[in-house]
Each structure stands twice: as C-alpha cells, then as structure tokens.
C-alpha cells in the first residue's frame, strides 16, 4: 500500500488511542476525588506531569485547578495532545484516506469531532460532569468495535493496530507513572487506605479493576505494577501491547519469526526483555526510571517504523539531484 | 394535491406543458400527488441529512476547521424520455469523435488550420495549445477520455450544447450518490417507472482507463491535488469505487522515464493515471515551474509511452470558448456530417463584425471570458447594471480575443422544492461521456439547478444545487 496511506492509518490508530487514554487519565482523578477524605485537595499536578506536557501547561495556565487541568487535557487546542486535538488529527488523517476507511468509521469519527467542538463551545471544562468523558470513551470504543467488524485484515489494518498498540503501551506506562507523581502526605501513608484508594482509582481508569481482582485478589502495589507492565492476559499491559504490535509488524513484513528489519528487531528485543523480567527487576531499576526508559524505547520503535515504511523520497529534491 | 398550485414558467418546463403533465413525468406525478406537502418536506430533510453523513461535501478550509457544505439535492428529479435521450447520446458521440480528431490534428498536421476552416492564430495564441504536446501520440489515439458536456434546452424544447468541458469535468460522484439518496426517498416508484441505472459508471471508468495500457493488468491510480481541493470528495470517491489508489503528487516519483508510487513495499510502477490536476500543474519541469502539486518528470515518462494520462495533456485546446464557436464546422470537416446537437449561437469578439455587434448589443448578451470556468468572468447583459455594461464594453474592446458573447438563453425549468412551495427553477444538464474502446454516454446526468428564483447561474460554486436525472427505458 502507499506509504502515505500506511502513515495515516498508523496515526489514526495512535490518535484515537491517545484520545481514549486522555479521557481515562481524567477518569483517574474523577474516581479519586469521589473517595477522598474531606479536606484532602485533589491533585491534578501529577496527572499533568505524567502526560509529559507539564511545561506546556505552565506556559498556558497559572495553577493546577481542576478547571485548568481539564481544559488543558481535554479541550485546549493549544495542547498538541489534548483530546480535542487528537480527535481533530485522527479525523484529518481519516479524511486524507477516506477511500481506505469504512464509511461507518468515518461517520463515527465525524460525530465525535462535532461532539468535541460543541463541548468547547459550551466551555464544558466548567462543568463537573464526568459523564462527558464516559461519552467520549464510548464513542471511541464504538469506533474500535466497528473497525474490528468491518475492516479487512490486510496491511492497512495492521498499520492501524500497530499505531494503536504502541500508543497504548506508552499511555499505560504513563498512567502508572501518575502514581509515582502523586504525593502522599507522609512516608507512613504508604500502604494506608489513602494509598489503597490511589491504586484502585488507577486500576479503574484502565478498566482493569475487576480483572485484577480475579487474578490477584488484594490490592498490592507490586502486583498492580506487574499486572500493568508484565501481565500476559490483560489487553492494556505494556507486555501485551508490545506482543500485539510485534505481531502486526510480522503480518506486515510476512516474517514468520525473529526480525527482518530494524523496527522488528527493536520491538522483539524489548518484548522479550519484558517476557523474561519479573517484578523485582522492575523495582530494582526503580519504577519511574523503568517506565521512563520503556517510553523512550517505544518511541524509538515508532521512529524505526517510520524509517522502514512511511518515509518517502521528496520527488522534487530527487529531481534536483538528478540534474 | 401537491402540484395543483404549481405555475410553470414561461420557459420550457420539463414537467408541465401549461397545466398538462408531460409524458415522461406522468407516473411520477401520479405517485407524488399522494404525498402531503409536509411529507415531501420531511423527505427533503432526510435527504439533506443523508448527504451530510455521507460526507458529500464541498470544502472550504481554514486551519484545522473544515467548513463543509453540501451541494443541495432537490428531491424532484429531472426526467428524460428514452427518445429524447437518444438524440443527446448520438449527438454527444458525434461531437466527441470529431473533437478528438480535431485535437489530434492540431498537434500533428494541422489540416484544419491549413485549409482555413479555423483561423490559425485563434489556436496558436490560445494558452491551452501546449507546444510540448506537438507531435505527441497518446495511447490508442485518444485525447479526451472523460467529458462532461453542458447541455441546455430553449423555449421550443430543443437541446443545445453550451460547453464541452474536456478537462477534468467534475460532478459525476454527485450524480451517483444523488441516485442512491433518491432511491431511498422513492423506493416503490423506482421499480415501477423504469429508470435506467447509472451504478455501472465506476466499472466503465476503470475499463476505459485500463484500456490505455497494453499490460494485462495495469496499475491505475487517481491523482488528486489533495484534501484542500474542492472536488476532493469526488477524487476519493472514484478511487474507492474503482478500487484503485488515490495518490497525491508527493506519492509519485519518476525514474528512467517511468512513474512509480512509493509503497510500504518499495516502488511500484504506475501505468495509467486518471489525473485531476490541470495540465500546467502536472509537471514543473515541462510546464508551470512553480507547481508543487505535480510530479517532476511525469511528462517525459508520458512522452516515452511509459504511462498514460487521462485526459491527455493538451486536450484543453478544444475546450476554449472561442474554439467552441467552430465545433459545428469541426464536425463537418472531420466527419462530413451535420451536427446532431447544435451550438448556442456564438459571437466571436476576435472577428470584427461580431465584435461590433457585441459592443452595440451588450445589454442583450451573455459575455464570457474564453478561459474562465465555474460561472466566473461572465456578465449576463439583461441582469447587469449600466456600470457593468460599460465595464465589459471596455474589457472586450481592449482584448477581444479573450471574449465571446451569446444571446441570453432561456434555460428550461423543473419544479423544485422551495420554502414557499413547489416552484419552477432553471436547470442545465451535464451528461458524462467516456472514450474507451468505444464512446459511451452514461444514461443519466447531473442536472444542476439555479435555486434562486429567476437565476440562470447553476454553478455549485455560486449557489446552485442539483437534481437526480432519470433517463427512462421507453
């Protein structure tokens, strides 16, 4: 398929996944705020820090109020990663390849785009209504469901899923990292009911609470980290995402095992490291540091995919060299 | 009853002759009479919504904000009997045959100029006569693969060709999607009345394009200027319907006089390009050096016979409004036949007598710039102000070659849904002709309608809408 089309499908996958994860980010805090003891302030700063866009936030706002945080994460067109911008970019990508996406996908994406713009018009960040994020999430899940049932499993599908899983791996690591940034009032609070609350909220935000309970039983930080980073079954764990992304790369290149290009080599290496890691290795490295290097390596994989499949020769420059 | 209050215009009304319903419309009328006005308006409303959700939109783009407008589709169709259609079909085939021979002649022997049928300088000074195309032989000798002629009907009910539109005519996607929407609005009617189907168009188009290559299974692509082009919806629609890639200039690259597209599995050679980019933007090496839309080297590849372009570069020369006046003579010269479809009488300002007539009678005439399209660069005498008359007198006198004039046409009307109820509105007719192994006219057309009362401007860029066009089996 055309490199440009593959590129657009990849980013369509990334932007829709990003939008969904940002609505999940916001959910973490909504979940938390409902259970917080009276007098305990909501912490929006850790959330902003975990997105990696704190610098941009400080350029635009002068305090971590709920209103500012929600506007920034969801509705601000000045934030390159806000839900609004991700949805707009997803739609732009789909528009450029209208002939390659199903009509139903286009219609849902269109609807979501108008939903976001209407929300901006009525300054939705001022409302305390968590329901709108649920709606955004539902619309994005509808998009996934339709795609799953209507897309042919050809190269285009695998580029789209590759983008989605790489994005999800990155975002799961960032959601987990929120916990690192959340400040407990004192060291003694580790393992306290408040700490417990934080962890539960985190699990709920990745729709992983019930499944976690089934697999591990009680809330235990090391188990949660294992669940989100290394678990083989949970579809949002970093290991799971990398495994799926690697499969996509193999489908695209027709490689049966091992690697046939640098992108496959990079992802295969990372995936197998996680496969043979246990939770002690993670904590030995330091959770935050561990997540940080994962994010960097996922980024490198994305770059390698670009080099391998999307990069096109500028026809004008080539021509100039020929002459 | 729905049509009881309808007052046909003093022009040719496609549905009524005074109070009597014309033959092709009789079944349609019987069916619609059962509807209440409210029901009709509801149907119209759901048709509008269907268009929006199908994304049948025109685009005006600023930043990330798309302003997307629909081309309004009026529910009441334009119906043409099989007999009337036969005249149009034969006339268009004759016209396209002659025009194709004409273009070939201009870039080779120029017999028609040598024999003085057309003044030499009229062709040679036209900016659409492309010197790089001289001596060129396009695959299978076909220049104008896709044509969308504009046809109008005068008071007496006679058809005239108004424009030939030989370069990248747009609108066929609206024709096809309009039909889908209208089928949903009047499902029973369709099965009873015998409307000729148009859904075969994308197959016809693909077969026509494949015919241009000698390879058994050639790679065909649609080349678009990109998402900012107002016809982008159509480009992507046609690519998708044909199951071929939609490419932009940046996806293509030339090497050794061959054109390749850049895919995830490396370079893939392209054999046939349905290009929706104007001639002069195709190749900055040969034509407009500033063009960023085209592909450097594509013209050389075309000349070497390694890629086919539809329509062929240079075709626009036969689409010049000054050349238009000569088409009846062109038909006679190459085919030895009288034209089946007539031209609208045309005054060439480049000819002294005509120029004098135009300057004296500018109030009565429609004056058009020879190279403008889309209803721009045009003055409708009877509707224009004194200042505009004076302005155009000056313009025409200064550069007579740039202008032609025609008597004000009385376009036919079709009943149309307006806020006030059903009222007559002026229409034209754009059938689509494909030149492949043989010349085929799609049995249907885009009927464009001027939605403003009394207006004669049907262009979508200037407030026109459209109607589905039914060609009957009879």
pLDDT one-digit tens code per residue, B391-426: 999 999 998 888 889 988 889 999 999 988 899 999
Contact A99 B250 (CB under 8 A): no
Cα-based angle B361, B367, B369 (whole degrees, multiple of 5): 145
Q: Is the pLDDT of residue B297 over 80?
A: yes
Given a cut of 70, whether residue B114 has pLDDT beyond it is yes
Does a structural domain hold residue B117? yes
Q: What pLDDT, on the 0 to 100 scale, is given for residue B286?
A: 86
**pLDDT(B298) > 60:** yes
**Structural domain includes residue A318:** no
pLDDT at B382 over 90: no
Query: Residues B70, B100: one domain?
Result: yes
Do residues B183 and B125 share a domain?
yes
Instruction: Give dist(CA B66, CA B50) in Å, integer.
Output: 19
Please identify, among B265, B281, B310, the residue that sits at the C-terminal boundary of a domain.
B310
Q: What is the largest CA-CA distance in chain A?
A: 74
Chain A residues within an 8 Å CB radius of B292: 316
Q: Is the pLDDT of residue B202 over 90?
A: yes
Looking at the complex, report in whole angstroms how far the Cα of residue A95 sits from the nearest Cα belonging to chain B: 7
Any domain includes A320: no
Domain of residue B373, residue span: 347-407
Residues 6+ apart with CB under 8 A from A170: A295, A298, A299
Note whether B113 and B259 are same-domain residues.
no
Q: Which two tokens stand for residue A177?
A: 């990292």
Residue among A88, A97, A107 whose CB faces B53 most closely:
A107
Interchain contact, A319 vs B297, CB within 8 Å? yes
**Nearest CA distance, A205 vs chain B (angstrom):** 30
Q: Is B252 in contact with A315 (Cβ distance < 8 A)?
A: yes
Q: Is the pLDDT higher at B424 or at B462?
A: B424
Task: Please indicate, yes or no, if residue A27 is contained in any of the structural domains.
Answer: yes
pLDDT of residue A319: 41
User: Is A313's CB within 8 Å of B262's CB?
Assistant: yes
User: What pLDDT score was predicted for residue B456?
Assistant: 82
Cβ distance of A99 and B237 shorter than 8 Å: yes
CB A218 within 8 Å of CB A196: no
In a domain, B373, yes or no: yes
For residues B399 and B274, state if they share a domain.
no
Confidence of residue B53 (pLDDT cuts 50, 70, 90): low
pLDDT at B323 over 70: yes
pLDDT of residue B469: 97
A100 in a domain, yes or no?
A: yes
- The answer on pLDDT for B97 being more than 90 is yes
- Decide if A319 is inside a domain: no
pLDDT band, very low/low/confident/very high, at B24 (cuts 50, 70, 90): very high
**Which one of B53, B262, B296 has the shortest CB-CB distance to A316?**
B296
Q: Is B183 found in the same domain as B218?
A: no
Residue A57 confidence (pLDDT) = 95
B365, B347 Cβ separation under 8 angstroms = yes
B112 pLDDT above the threshold of 50: yes
Structure tokens at B352: 């002294």
CATH assignment at residue B362: 3.30.1490.270
Q: Phi/psi of residue B186, each to 5°?
A: -125, 60
Q: Do A252 and B239 touch (CB under 8 A)?
A: no
> What's the structural domain count of chain B?
3
**3-class DSSP assignment, residue B449:** strand
Which of B356, B383, B407 is the last residue before a domain boundary?
B407
Are B13 and B153 in a shared domain? yes
Does a structural domain hold residue A316?
no
A40 DSSP assignment: P
pLDDT reported for residue B203: 96
Residue B376 placed within a domain: yes
Q: Is B184 on the interface with A (CB under 8 A)?
A: no
Chain A residues whose beta carbon lies within 8 Å of the beta carbon of residue B295: 315
Q: Which residues contact B418 (CB under 8 A, 6 or more apart)?
A: B425, B451, B453
Whether B32 and B152 map to the same domain: the answer is yes
**Same-domain check for residues B434 and B461:** yes
CATH number at residue B229: 3.40.50.11290
Q: Which residue of A has its CA nearest to B248?
A: A4
Nearest residue in chain B measured CA to CA from A110: B53
- Number of folded domains that form chain A: 1
Q: What 3-state class would DSSP assign to B289? A: coil
**Which residues span the domain enclosing A44?**
3-311
Q: Do B284 and A316 touch (CB under 8 A)?
A: yes
Q: What is the pLDDT of residue A318?
A: 44
Same domain, B189 and B204: no
Query: B204 or B55, which is more confident?
Result: B204
For B466, counting Cβ atoms within 10 Å of its Cβ (0-12 exposed, 13-18 middle, 19+ buried), the class is buried
Q: Are the beta carbons of B250 and A77 separated by less than 8 Å?
A: no
Residues with pLDDT less than 50, chain A: 318-323
Residue B66 confidence (pLDDT) above 50 = yes
Q: Tell whether the model's pLDDT for residue B65 goes beyond 60.
A: no
Inter-chain contact B296–A6, Cβ cutoff 8 Å?
no
Closest C-alpha among A229, A221, A224, A295 to residue A50: A295
How far from the centroid of its chain's Cα atoms is residue A220's Cα? 24
Structure tokens at B88: 């149009």
The answer to whether residues B36 and B104 belong to one domain is yes
How would residue B190 be classed by pLDDT, with cut points 50, 70 and 90?
confident
Among B54, B55, B264, beta carbon nearest to A6:
B264
Cβ within 8 Å, pair A313-B264: no
Q: What is the pLDDT of residues B134-151, one digit of tens each?
A: 999 999 999 999 999 999
Q: Of the given ranges (B109-118, B284-293, B389-398, B424-433), which has the lowest mean pLDDT? A: B284-293
A89: closest chain B residue by CA: B64
- Do residue B122 and residue B248 come from a single domain? no
Name the pLDDT band for B231 (thresholds 50, 70, 90).
confident
The distance of A43 to chain B (nearest Cα, Å) reads 32
- Using CB atoms, which residue from A5, A159, A315 is nearest to B296? A315
DSSP assignment of A265-296 equals HHHHHHHHHHHT--HHHHHHH-HHHHHHHHHH
Residues B384 and B465 in one domain: no
pLDDT of residue B372: 60
- Residue B338 located in a structural domain: no
Whether residue B380 is predicted with pLDDT greater than 70 in this model: the reply is: yes
Of A96, A99, A314, the CB nearest to B240: A99
Residues 6+ apart with CB under 8 A from B311: B143, B144, B145, B146, B166, B167, B168
- In a domain, residue B336? The reply is no
pLDDT given at position B58: 63
Closest chain A C-alpha to B235 CA, distance in angstroms: 9
Closest residue in chain A to residue B65, using alpha carbons only: A88
Domain contains B335: no
When pLDDT is averaged across residues B288-310 and rounded to a whole number, the result is 91
Measured between beta carbons, which residues in chain A are less than 8 angstroms from residue B297?
A: 319
Q: Please report the pLDDT score of residue B64 as a whole number.
A: 46
Identify the residue among B264, B265, B267 best suited for mutation to test binding to A, counting A beta carbons within 10 A and taking the highest: B264
Chain B positions touching A159 (Cβ under 8 A) are 264
Q: What is the mean pLDDT of chain B?
A: 90
Rounded to whole angstroms, the Cα distance separating B24 from B32 reads 14
Across the interface, whether the CB atoms of B251 and A106 are under 8 A apart is answered no
Nearest by CB to residue B295, choosing from A95, A159, A315, is A315
- If contacts are CB pairs under 8 Å, which of residues 235-264 in chain B contact chain A? 236-237, 239-240, 245-254, 261-264
> Does residue A321 belong to any structural domain of this protein?
no
* CB nearest to A312's CB, from B55, B254, B262: B262
């Amino acid at each position: 398929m055309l490199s440009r089309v593959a590129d657009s499908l990849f980013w369509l996958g990334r932007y829709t996944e990003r939008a969904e994860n940002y609505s999940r980010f916001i959910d973490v805090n909504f979940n938390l705020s409902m259970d917080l003891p009276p007098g305990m302030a909501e912490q929006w700063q850790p959330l902003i820090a975990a997105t990696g866009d704190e610098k941009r936030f400080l350029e635009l706002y002068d305090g971590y109020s709920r209103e500012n945080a929600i506007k920034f994460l969801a509705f601000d067109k000045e934030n390159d990663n806000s839900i609004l911008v991700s949805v707009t970019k997803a739609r732009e990508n789909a528009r450029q390849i209208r002939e390659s996406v199903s009509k139903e996908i286009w219609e849902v994406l269109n609807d979501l785009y108008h939903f976001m713009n209407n929300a901006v018009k009525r300054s939705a960040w001022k409302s305390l209504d968590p329901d709108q994020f649920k709606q955004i999430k539902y619309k994005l899940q509808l998009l996934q469901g339709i795609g799953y049932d209507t897309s042919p499993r050809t190269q285009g599908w695998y580029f789209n899923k590759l983008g989605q899983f790489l994005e999800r791996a990155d975002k799961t690591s960032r959601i987990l990292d929120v916990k690192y940034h959340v400040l407990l009032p004192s060291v003694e609070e580790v393992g306290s009911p408040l700490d417990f609350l934080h962890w539960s909220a985190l699990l709920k935000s990745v729709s992983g609470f019930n499944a976690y309970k089934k697999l591990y039983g009680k809330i235990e930080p090391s188990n949660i980290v294992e669940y989100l980073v290394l678990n083989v079954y949970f579809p949002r764990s970093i290991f799971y995402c990398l495994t799926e992304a690697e499969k996509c790369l193999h489908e695209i290149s027709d490689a049966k095992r091992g690697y046939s290009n640098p992108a496959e080599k990079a992802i295969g290496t990372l995936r197998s490291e996680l496969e043979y890691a246990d939770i002690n290795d993670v904590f030995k490295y330091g959770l935050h540091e561990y997540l940080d290097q994962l994010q960097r390596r996922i980024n490198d994989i994305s770059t390698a995919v670009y080099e391998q499949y999307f990069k096109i020769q500028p026809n004008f420059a080539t021509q100039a060299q020929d002459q | 009853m729905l049509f009881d209050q309808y007052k046909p215009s003093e022009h040719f009304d496609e549905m009524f002759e005074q109070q009597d319903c014309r033959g092709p419309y009789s079944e349609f009328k019987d069916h619609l009479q059962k509807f209440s006005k409210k029901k009709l308006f509801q149907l119209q409303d759901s048709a509008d919504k269907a268009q929006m959700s199908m994304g049948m939109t025109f685009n005006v783009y600023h930043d990330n904000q798309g302003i997307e407008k629909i081309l309004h589709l009026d529910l009441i169709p334009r119906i043409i009997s099989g007999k009337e259609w036969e005249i149009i079909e034969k006339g268009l085939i004759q016209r396209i045959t002659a025009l194709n021979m004409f273009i070939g002649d201009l870039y080779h022997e120029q017999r028609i100029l040598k024999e003085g049928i057309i003044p030499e300088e009229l062709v040679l000074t036209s900016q659409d006569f492309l010197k790089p195309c001289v001596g060129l032989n396009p695959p299978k000798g076909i220049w104008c693969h896709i044509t969308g002629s504009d046809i109008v009907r005068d008071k007496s009910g006679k058809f005239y060709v108004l424009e030939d539109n030989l370069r990248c005519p747009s609108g066929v996607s609206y024709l096809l999607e309009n039909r889908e929407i209208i089928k949903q609005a009047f499902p029973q009617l369709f099965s009873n009345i015998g409307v000729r189907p148009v859904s075969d168009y994308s197959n016809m188009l693909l077969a026509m394009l494949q015919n241009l290559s000698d390879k058994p299974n050639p790679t065909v692509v649609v080349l678009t200027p990109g998402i900012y082009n107002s016809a982008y919806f159509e480009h992507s629609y046609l690519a998708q319907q044909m199951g071929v890639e939609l490419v932009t200039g940046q996806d293509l690259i030339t090497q050794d006089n061959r054109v390749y597209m850049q895919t995830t599995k490396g370079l893939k050679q392209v054999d046939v390009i349905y290009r929706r980019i104007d001639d002069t933007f195709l190749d900055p090496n040969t034509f407009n050096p500033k063009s960023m839309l085209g592909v450097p080297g594509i013209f050389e590849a075309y000349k070497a016979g390694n890629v086919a372009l539809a329509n062929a570069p240079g075709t626009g020369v036969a689409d010049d409004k000054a050349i238009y006046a000569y088409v009846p003579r062109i038909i006679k010269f190459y085919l030895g036949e009288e034209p089946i479809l007539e031209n609208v009488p045309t005054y060439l300002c480049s000819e002294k007598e005509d120029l004098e007539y135009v300057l004296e009678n500018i109030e009565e005439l429609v004056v058009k710039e020879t190279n403008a399209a889309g209803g721009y660069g045009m003055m409708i005498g009877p509707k224009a102000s004194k200042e505009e008359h004076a302005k155009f007198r000056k313009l025409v006198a200064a550069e007579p070659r740039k202008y032609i004039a025609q008597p004000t046409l009385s376009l036919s009307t079709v009943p149309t849904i307006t806020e006030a109820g059903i009222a007559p509105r002026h229409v034209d007719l754009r059938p689509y002709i494909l030149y492949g192994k043989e010349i085929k006219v799609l049995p249907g057309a885009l009927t464009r309608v001027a939605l403003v009362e009394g207006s004669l401007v049907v262009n979508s860029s200037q407030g026109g809408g459209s109607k589905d066009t039914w060609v009957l089996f009879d």
